[in-house]
Structure 1
Amino acid sequence: MDAEHLEYFKAALEGRASVGWNVWFTANQQALAQHLSRPALLRLKFSKLDEAERLLAEAGIVPCSTAGKRYEMYCAQFSADVVDANGRPLPAIWRAAHGGAIGLLADGEQEAGQAKLLAEFRRVRKRGLQQAHEWLADLCFEGEMELSGGNADVGRSLLAVVVRAGSGHDLLDATAMIARELLEDLG
């Protein structure tokens, strides 16, 4: 395997890649096919960054684990029709998330955006505690990603919703505590 491929894997897994996994893989698939067996190429194509991490380990390279890694893995799950030329979510898709709450937050309408998110949480909570926990964990992840590499104001608002919604049950309080710590780390 070429050193440049391994360098991209490391950069992606450390959250430093300039383009997302799907864009990079499409551009490099033929070159990779010259170095990898068909099964290995298919594992890389479908297991994406998990397989890239395994290939790095085989080469003796250990990337630093960062929030950027989780974001890169998150973006790698998106279909090509909802990402830009760099493999990042399209602004219109991002703004429409959570029934438009993200767009409201991005426009500075904190109260309206947070109210929309809390209403969504209440609907999810009616379906059960496990779904509520997963929803809060996803929102906490989104907030952390926005803080680390996106719109910090949106990130703070998302984490504030997690803190507010997570009160009252041990399973939910754990996620709320993570969000609270992320907000406190900001100062």
Structure 2
Amino acid sequence: MEQSHTVLFLYIDGKIRVFCKKNDEIIPLREQGIEAFALDDKLIGGDFWTWWRRKAGFIEGDKTDFCFIYDTFDSRLLLDSTKDNKISPFWSVEGIRYLFEKCNIATILHSANDIQIPFGKDPKKSCFTNLEFSLGIKSDVASAPETSIKEVKKEQESQTKHTTETEMERLLKEMYENRPSNQSR
């Protein structure tokens, strides 16, 4: 039976974290309670994709909605079947912002169509995604003065307040609000 997999792969500082939409929840995938590990970590058998397929129940031919976010490109991150995945019906800028806030990530996210979006306080690090965004922000935020970054963030926050909560934002909020306090991020 064909399944649908809605997944965000977050690869920062040589560690990968995986967030999956399952039913009405966004859940981080863990192995023995650990949420972030190297792509070749022995804990996951030395091969990230083999581990992920097993953990997620993925079978070739399943539908995918993948968002990849990475600070350093590693060819092991992308599957051939996802190379043309540029538009996501689920992963939105606002939802990614919410996830970054919960994970304490400050970065400038570069989309596949050269839109640069600052996340967090004082972002200096750059990350990249396979997705294309449509925000009308085309300036080079990474090299803009700090005041410009603050103005863009303020404008985005203002726009976000006037929009309704997306399904992903609602699920992420529920995940973190219902999370036991003794689990590590």
Higher relative CO (Cα under 8 Å, sequence separation at least 6) belongs to 2
- Structure number with higher strand proportion: 2
TM-score (norm 1): 0.29
- Structure number with higher helix proportion: 1
TM-score (norm 2): 0.29
